[in-house]
A and B are shown apart, each in its own frame.
Chain A
Amino acid sequence: AQTVTQSQPEMSVQEAETVTLSCTYDTSESDYYLFWYKQPPSRQMILVIRQEAYKQQNATENRFSVNFQKAAKSFSLKISDSQLGDAAMYFCAYRSAFRISNYQLIWGAGTKLIIKP
């Protein structure tokens, strides 16, 4: 069975600086998707970034980028120029690309990101 581990329960960063959130996963599958979701105090789950396992290029969305190391099964999120609005819980999630898995998301426990003004 697949597992997702986020080893940092909480991280803090000074506003305008860069922070990296860690995520590791375990799977025997070759084709899958990895996600970072953000959950602000409003509770809404917001998709931050998505990485397809077959793509070697790391995904980027504005100030958010990932470091995807498939062999090491590592998927970290880098937030550049941190802003107060980035304060939230961040969840790493895994999803198989095979329909037989019924596309269930496997979640990490989350990392609370604190932005210091």
Chain B
Amino acid sequence: NAGVTQTPKFQVLKTGQSMTLQCAQDMNHEYMSWYRQDPGMGLRLIHYSVGAGITDQGEVPNGYNVSRSTTEDFPLRLLSAAPSQTSVYFCASSLGAGDLLFGPGTRLTVL
């Protein structure tokens, strides 16, 4: 198993640009989620999905969209990047209430 993979590892955007952070898992996990991590803070949930075709908002969803067309993939879209979205983004998945497994993270800088 490759586990949870994320691409890209690093990204620099200009204000107003859009982009998609990719996340994939090959463990048939029903639950997938996106977190952001800012300095001095714990992780905050952006969006999550409990299965293909089902998504919902987390704690900080504004400025982000998600979709879940397959069990394996859960992309995060930034619609119009803002400097406040500069952060490290983590994708994580689990089988039900099992342990969350994290991807390696994407460091995003918005200028």
Contact = CB atoms under 8 A, between A and B. Distances in A.
Interface of A: 4, 33, 35, 42-47, 50, 91, 93, 95, 97, 99, 102-105, 107-110
A108 B42 contact: yes
Given A95-B97, A97-B97, A103-B31, A45 B42 contact: no
Given A50-B99, A102-B50, A110 B104 contact: no
Interface of B: 31, 33, 35, 40-45, 48, 50, 56, 58-59, 88, 90, 92, 94, 96-97, 99-102, 104-105, 107
Contacts of A42: 104
A105 B93 CA distance: 11
Contact of B97 (A43, A99, A108): A99
Contacts, number: 56
B43 A105 contact: yes
Interface of B is mostly: strand
B97 A45 contact: no
B5 to A, nearest CB: 12
Contacts of A33: 97
Q: Which of A42, A45, A47 has the most CB of B within 10 A?
A: A45
A43 B59 CA distance: 22
Nearest to A97: B97
Q: Which of B94, B102, B104 has the most CB of A within 10 A?
A: B102
A42 B43 CA distance: 16
Nearest to A9: B40
Contacts of A43: 88, 104-105, 107
Contacts of B96: 99, 103
Contact of A44 (B41, B44, B105): B105
A107 B42 contact: yes
15 contacts: A33-B97, A35-B100, A42-B104, A43-B104, A45-B92, A47-B99, A50-B99, A91-B42, A99-B96, A102-B48, A103-B97, A104-B45, A105-B43, A110-B40, A110-B42
B1 to A, nearest CB: 16
A105 B97 CA distance: 10
